[in-house]
Amino acid sequence: MVQFYSPNRRSVNRGIISVTADNLDAQGQGIARHQGKTIFIAGLLPDEQAQIQLTEEKRQFAKAKVVKRLSDSPHRVAPHCPHFKVCGGCQQQHVATELQVKTKASVLERLIQRETGISISAHPIIHSPEYGYRRRARLGLQYHAKQRTLLMGFRQSQTNDLVNIKHCPVMRPELEQLLQPLYQCLNSLHTVKRLGHVELVLADNGPLVVLRHLDSLKHEDKETLRLFSVQYNVAIYLLGDEKSLEPLAAEQPAPWYQVNGVKLVFSPQDFIQVNDVVNQKMVAQALAWLDLQPTDRVLDLFCGMGNFTLPIATQVQATVGVEGVAELVASGQYNARLNKLNNVDFFHENLESEIHQQPWAAQGFNKVLLDPARAGAAGVMAHIVKLAPEKVVYVSCNPTTLARDSKVLLEAGYHLVSVRMLDMFPHTGHLESMALFSSEPMIE
């Protein structure tokens, strides 16, 4: 048999080696060094010694699993969730919160230093409650034919298999307490085999459930859901396909939340920030950094339904929000009218297309806020520079694209004044942040 040599194929040493972790990455993996190579080890904390086995080996680094832990860090804590290590939702419940946030802030600082050459502190950190912070969660639904029962839960780590969730301590308590009765309700439906997913959302005016069903629901199933809705005081919405959201009861009030004194009504399918506590602090920090004045004209890019736009509008001459999702723009416009804010305009535009041809681009603004998706804001950075605003606040869910986009402002003469790490998703590897840029040097 002919054998072909592949230069990219590297054998993995399956032997057991002993290491001591000296650091932690943003994903909660221990970092150790062995024979000049960096090794990432899931579940190992700094200063812990362990016997490990490599699971993946590259030229510059390797990944490994713990075979036997030989010592415990004082930062190791007992996870609150019985599904930890099986459920893929949280990766760091075994790590003390203090170490989690310190590590993420350090990762952010190192990345900015490496990409921009600027040494800056990501403190003070915008903190979250340790548990009970998620006001939104989507759970998969899957009928197990052999066991003749429904599975409801999150995906296992690196698989498509569902973990049947009975408790989830990172959810808001009002949602977690619905898990078991909701499961029993859904498992009793005649169409149990044809359910897609279920989403739980906590609005300021109460919890709601969105049920994705693949077949039409029979009258008996709708009655079962109605009884559940009444018993647990939950608004239920039915999603027959991705565009046919219908309230189970016609008299259900629309969900809403408040931020900085503004009321935002939203559709259950609209994007809202998962962590309300951090969202409140984040919006307050952004408004403080912008130093809003009655004569300001402020541009909010990737504005969503106006989470920042509308609070800004309460303090300035005029605000413009630009967003690529039409439904969110419609929600923003409705909420501007609801809050009697007549100084706001929303535009539905693709911010990756020809920016200079869009109607908002011809207007003048002296301050800018942007909150892009993970891909960042490469398509708008040059136009922001062209606007020459006094201040720019960049809210980011990806520190890599934040660092990349920062270079455009820095090369145009802007100063990076301040950075914050936002603990939006405790116990996970998600790293959220925000940065303030000024056309003039500032002392915060």
Torsion on CA atoms 365, 369, 372, 374, rounded to nearest 10: 140
**In this structure, is residue 399 part of a structural domain?**
yes
Q: What is the CATH number of the domain that holds 140?
A: 2.40.50.1070
Torsion on CA atoms 319, 324, 325, 327, rounded to nearest 10: 40
- Confirm or deny that 168 is annotated as ligand binding: yes
| The residue to which tokens 């720019």 are assigned | 392
- Confirm or deny that 323 is annotated as ligand binding: yes
**What is the C-alpha separation between 43 and 8, in angstroms, rounded?**
28
Q: What is the CATH number of the domain that holds 117?
A: 3.40.50.150
User: Do 424 and 291 fall into the same domain?
Assistant: yes
Pick from 372, 379, 424: nearest CA to 398: 372
User: Do 122 and 143 fall into the same domain?
Assistant: no
User: Do 38 and 122 fall into the same domain?
Assistant: no
Paired strand residues for 246 = 238
Residues 227 and 244: beta-carbon distance below 8 Å: no
Pick from 433, 398, 122: nearest CA to 282: 433
Pick from 31, 58, 35: nearest CA to 45: 31
**In this structure, is residue 116 part of a structural domain?**
yes
| The residue to which tokens 């040494």 are assigned | 119
**Three-state SS sequence of the chain:** CCCCCCCCCCCCCCCEEEEECCEECCCCEEEEEECCEEEEEECCCCCCEEEEEEEEECCCEEEEEEEEECCCCCCECCCCCCCCCCECCCCCCCECHHHHHHHHHHHHHHHHHHHHCCCCCCCCCECCCCCCCECEEEEEEEEECCCCEEEEEEEECCCCCEEECCCCCCECHHHHCCHHHHHHHHHCCCCHHHEEEEEEEEECCEEEEEEEECCCCCHHHHHHHHHHHHHHCCEEEEECCCCCEEECCCCCCCCEEEECCEEEECCCCCCCCCEHHHHHHHHHHHHHHHCCCCCCEEEEECCCCCCCHHHHHCCCCEEEEEECCHHHHHHHHHHHHHCCCCCEEEEECCCCCCHHHCHHHHCCCCEEEECCCCCCCHHHHHHHHHHCCCEEEEEECCHHHHHHHHHHHHHCCCEEEEEEEECCCCCCCCCEEEEEEECCCCCC
Q: What value does the mean pLDDT take over residues 24-32?
A: 89
Q: How confident is the model at residue 12 (pLDDT cuts 50, 70, 90)?
A: low
User: Do 158 and 212 fall into the same domain?
Assistant: yes
**Burial letters 265-278, b for 16+ CB under 10 A, else e:** bbbbebbbbbbbbb
- pTM of model > 0.85: yes
User: Do 204 and 351 fall into the same domain?
Assistant: no
- Confirm or deny that 307 is annotated as ligand binding: yes
* pLDDT higher than threshold 90 for residue 15: no
User: Do 160 and 239 fall into the same domain?
Assistant: yes
* Sheet with 49-57: strands ordered across: 16-20, 49-57, 61-69, 37-42, 29-34, 23-24
Residues 295 and 364: beta-carbon distance below 8 Å: no
- Confirm or deny that 371 is annotated as ligand binding: yes
Residues 27 and 157: beta-carbon distance below 8 Å: no
**In this structure, is residue 93 part of a structural domain?**
no
Pick from 148, 122, 91: nearest CA to 425: 91
Number of domains in the chain: 3
User: Do 374 and 297 fall into the same domain?
Assistant: yes
User: Do 231 and 318 fall into the same domain?
Assistant: no
Please enumerate in sequence order all residues whose Cβ is within 8 A of that of 7, keeping only pairs 6 or more positions apart, or say none.
Answer: none
At 5 the pLDDT is 43
| The residue to which tokens 């940065």 are assigned | 435
- Confirm or deny that 8 is annotated as ligand binding: no
Q: Is 185 a catalytic residue?
A: no
pLDDT in tens, 242-280: 778 999 998 889 999 999 999 999 999 999 999 999 999
Q: How confident is the model at residue 172 (pLDDT cuts 50, 70, 90)?
A: very high
**In this structure, is residue 81 part of a structural domain?**
no
* pLDDT higher than threshold 50 for residue 183: yes
At 6 the pLDDT is 46
**In this structure, is residue 398 part of a structural domain?**
yes
**In this structure, is residue 113 part of a structural domain?**
yes
**In this structure, is residue 95 part of a structural domain?**
no
- Confirm or deny that 185 is annotated as ligand binding: no
Angle CA 386–434–393, to nearest 5:
30
* pLDDT higher than threshold 90 for residue 97: yes
At 442 the pLDDT is 65
- Confirm or deny that 398 is annotated as ligand binding: no
Residues 437 and 417: beta-carbon distance below 8 Å: yes
User: Do 289 and 354 fall into the same domain?
Assistant: yes
User: Do 52 and 146 fall into the same domain?
Assistant: no
Q: What is the CATH number of the domain that holds 31?
A: 2.40.50.140
Question: Final residue of a domain: which of 200, 221, 253?
Answer: 253
Which of 162, 182, 210, 397 is flagged as catalytic?
397
**What is the C-alpha separation between 375 and 370, in angstroms, rounded?**
13
- Structural domain for 233, as ranges: 136-253
* pLDDT higher than threshold 50 for residue 9: no
How high is the mean pLDDT of the chain?
Answer: 93
Sign of the Cα torsion 15, 20, 23, 26 reads: positive
User: Do 338 and 302 fall into the same domain?
Assistant: yes
* pLDDT higher than threshold 60 for residue 8: no
pLDDT in tens, 295-304: 999 999 999 9
User: Do 285 and 427 fall into the same domain?
Assistant: yes
**In this structure, is residue 80 part of a structural domain?**
no
Residues 107 and 125: beta-carbon distance below 8 Å: no
